[in-house]
């Protein structure tokens, strides 16, 4: 499997409204941390996730989390 592009080594703190979101797993999106379709033609696909109530979440930007799309601290080892 190809390695994703590391966007940043800190999570993106996002205030999200209820809804469905698409997290960029490849690191190539210009709308980080969300997918803009830049993965097309690669082996990467966006991670679909739902938010049930308004909340602040920490979304991974190093793309190495074991709990996508959420930050698990993996950036500390890169």
What one-character-per-residue DSSP string does 5-44 give? PP--SSPEEEEE-SEEEEE-SSS--TTTTB--STTTTSS-
**What is residue 74's three-state secondary structure?**
helix
**Average pLDDT of the segment spanning 53-62:** 98
| Domain assignment of residue 30, yes or no | yes
Q: Work out the pLDDT band at 1, boundaries 50, 70, 90.
A: low
**Average pLDDT of the segment spanning 30-47:** 97
| Domain assignment of residue 54, yes or no | yes
| Domain assignment of residue 1, yes or no | no
C-alpha span between 59 and 46 (Å, rounded): 13
Distances 30 to 26, 55, 56, 67 between C-alpha atoms, Å: 11, 23, 21, 22
Task: Tell me the residue range of the domain where 39 lies.
Answer: 12-77
Q: Give me the number of domains the chain comprises.
A: 1
Q: Work out the pLDDT band at 2, boundaries 50, 70, 90.
A: confident
| Domain assignment of residue 7, yes or no | no
| Domain assignment of residue 53, yes or no | yes
pTM: 0.94
| Domain assignment of residue 4, yes or no | no
**Average pLDDT of the segment spanning 57-74:** 98
């Amino acid at each position: 499997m190809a390695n994703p592009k590391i966007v940043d080594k800190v999570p993106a703190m996002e205030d999200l409204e209820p809804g469905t979101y698409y997290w960029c797993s490849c690191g190539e999106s210009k709308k980080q941390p969300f997918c803009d379709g830049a993965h097309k033609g690669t082996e990467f696909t966006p991670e679909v996730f739902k938010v049930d109530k308004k909340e602040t979440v920490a979304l991974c930007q190093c793309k190495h989390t074991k709990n996508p799309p959420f930050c698990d601290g993996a950036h500390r080892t890169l």
